[in-house]
Amino acid sequence: GAVVSQHPSRVICKSGTSVKIECRSLDFQATTMFWYRQFPKQSLMLMATSNEGSKATYEQGVEKDKFLINHASLTLSTLTVTSAHPEDSSFYICSASLAGGQQYFGPGTRLTVT
Amino acid sequence: DAKTTQPPSMDCAEGRAANLPCNHSTISGNEYVYWYRQIHSQGPQYIIHGLKNNETNEMASLIITEDRKSSTLILPHATLRDTAVYYCIVRVKGDKIIFGKGTRLHILP
């Protein structure tokens, strides 16, 4: 149980375009979902926290207009990278939280912006 | 900022026990110690967590000192598949997870 999926697993897009990444909790309802970004040889950096039906809370330094987060249901959150540039190329990971605080992570999405 | 200190890397021979230390000297009374690991190009995987008692599950054991200022994750019989970055995290249940740099564990054949 407690499986989190992400789609797509990898995506290549052109500079200036937008790309949407989906995060789903497959077998549980997640009250809270989190989005992380990881650059090569670095640790995961928390970008934002989203609760179903409310606006996401962004960490300091993360542009909310560039990284749009929608959490429309208890099993789905989406991250849209708007007007992507090569410096946005990264590994994006989501996690979903069970009531009681246990977090389960998705497999990640590798974004390459050319 | 992460509230834990871990060695940047460790080696362990295959089949031996891997003991990964973590210092968390500023841990609060309501904060748990969590361990996750991340195998290359995958999402982090939950391993174990504890408050003050030692804990054991099918993956590992967690030993927490009596003063709770440090802990050790023990993988009893390391295999090549245990090669990963191991993260020690202290947090209140339900709080967001802030990752430090972790320990890169190399299992040597």
Amino acid type, A86: P
Residue B52's CB: how many other CB atoms inside 10 A?
14
Question: B44 vs A102: CB contact, 8 Å cut-off?
Answer: no
For the cut 90, the answer to whether the pLDDT of residue A2 exceeds it is: no
A34–chain B Cβ distance below 8 A for any pair? yes
Closest residue in chain A to residue B92, using alpha carbons only: A101
Instruction: Retrieve residue B18's tokens.
Output: 């891997």
Share of chain B above pLDDT 70, in %: 98
Question: B42 vs A104: CB contact, 8 Å cut-off?
Answer: no
Closest residue in chain A to residue B102, using alpha carbons only: A43
Q: Are strands A57-58 and A10-13 parallel, antiparallel or unpaired?
A: unpaired
Is residue B35 within 8 A of residue B47, CB to CB? The reply is: yes
Q: What per-residue confidence (pLDDT) applies to B1? A: 53
Q: Exposure of A77 by Cβ count < 10 A (0-12 exposed, 13-18 middle, 19+ buried)?
A: buried
- Residue whose token pair is 């979903």: A96
Q: Shortest CB distance from A44 goes to which of B44, B93, B95?
A: B44
Name residue A110's beta-bridge partners: A10, A91
Residue numbers in A near B99 (CB within 8 A):
36, 43-46
Closest residue in chain B to residue A99, using alpha carbons only: B94
Residue B7's CB: how many other CB atoms inside 10 A?
14
Name residue A12's beta-bridge partners: A112
Q: A14-48, pLDDT tens digit by residue?
A: 999 999 999 999 999 988 999 999 999 999 999 99
Question: B44 vs A45: CB contact, 8 Å cut-off?
Answer: no
